[in-house]
Structure 1
Amino acid sequence: MYIFKEIRPLIEESMGEVCCRKRVRFGNSISIDFGKRIFHNRPKMADPFYGEWSFGCYHKLWKVFRGNKMILEGQNDFDNYEETDSILQQIHFGKLIEITVINTLDIAMILDNNIRIEFLASQKEEDTFGVFLPQNKCLVYYANQGRWEYGRSDLSWPNHLDVAIQ
């Protein structure tokens, strides 16, 4: 278990990378990918690739801002996520310039074109925020506990890697 300061070096290489993919999925969870496109052979997925760096949440509490104006948010609507995804596709996401933890629960991603994505924790659920890194590595943030875990994405979870060894 780690705090943000300890895992930050693992994601710093994603800073400056351009968004290559973004999707709202069933349940209005969201995935935002940066860097090189990694092609896969999964025809049931919406896109034929995912990003080298993939950031996302498995809950519905997220918002996209342009400046100080909210322009899109995750909804409690499991049936109409395609509509939210359609709106998301119209928003230009630039380069990732910062990721921060706000008040030990929430996470914000700041892009170079005045776009900010906030992932807001729910006290009622075990919210998680995931970061898929290159070389089958993964970070998971458990918001209700304020802790990060680091492991392999190609093995059953949870599994643990040591940040100090990287």
Structure 2
Amino acid sequence: MYKFEEILPLIEKSFGEVCCRKRVRFGNSVSIDFGNKVSHNKSKMADPFYGEWSFSCYHKLWRILKGNKIILEGQNDFVNYEETDSILQQISFGRLIEVTVINTLNIAMILDNDIRIEFLACSEEEDTFEVLLPHNRCLVYYASQGWEYGRGDLPWPNHLELNHE
């Protein structure tokens, strides 16, 4: 397991990238993608591409703020996720400028257009936050344990040593 400070150089490479895709999925989990569009052949996905940088959460509460006002939030709703996704599509996302750990459980992404996306833990045991990086690399944050780094194209968990090349 790694500390945030150790994996931050990997995430910082996404800073300055523009949002290219955003989706709310079943269970109201959310995925926000940045950078170049990467095509795939997965017919069950809503979009024919994903971003080269994908920030996602599972089993997490999340909210999007404009300034100090909450404009959208997810609450593990398995029924109305399509409605929430429709609202998400109407929000203009800018460039990613910062990712920070608010406390040991919560993570925030800050965009250059006064948008802040907060991923809020509801249970230390279940909550995960995932960052898919270019070249099939993946970071997973477990609120109760810390960060793991591995291959995104192999069964999880797997482990890679950090190198910031």
TM over 0.5: yes
Q: Tell me the alpha carbon deviations over residues 84-130 of structure 1, each in whole angstroms, 9 at most, x when there is no partner.
A: 00000000000000000011110000000000000001136410000
On the 8 A contact 1:27/1:60 being kept in 2, the answer is no
On the 8 A contact 1:121/1:144 being kept in 2, the answer is no
Point out the more displaced range, 91-100 or 120-129.
120-129
Does 2:16 correspond to 1:16?
yes
**Runs ≥4 in structure 1, deviation > 4 angstroms?**
none
Amino acid at match of 1:40: H
On the 8 A contact 2:72/2:88 being kept in 1, the answer is yes
Does 2:74 correspond to 1:74?
yes
Counterparts of 2:106 and 2:113, CA distance in 1: 21
Counterparts of 2:55 and 2:129, CA distance in 1: 7
Instruction: State the secondary structure of the residue aligned to 2:12.
Output: helix
Look up the match of 1:84: 84
Does 2:46 correspond to 1:63?
no
Q: How does 1:1-166 map to 2 (within 5 A)?
A: 1-123=1-123, 125-145=125-145, 147-164=146-163, 166=165
Instruction: State the secondary structure of the residue aligned to 1:82.
Output: helix
How many residue pairs match? The answer is: 165
CA separation of 1:12 and 1:126: change in aligned 2, threshold 3 A: same
**Sequence identity (%):** 76
Counterparts of 1:93 and 1:165, CA distance in 2: 28
Instruction: State the secondary structure of the residue aligned to 2:11.
Output: helix
Point out the more displaced range, 38-47 or 16-25.
38-47
On the 8 A contact 2:63/2:72 being kept in 1, the answer is yes
Deviation at 1:79, TM superposition (A): 1.2
- TM-score for both structures, normalised by structure 2: 0.97
CA separation of 1:55 and 1:165: change in aligned 2, threshold 3 A: closer
- In structure 1, stretches of 5+ residues that fail to align are none
Deviation at 1:77, TM superposition (A): 1.7
- In structure 2, stretches of 5+ residues that fail to align are none
Cα RMSD for the two superposed structures: 1.1
Counterparts of 2:60 and 2:20, CA distance in 1: 22
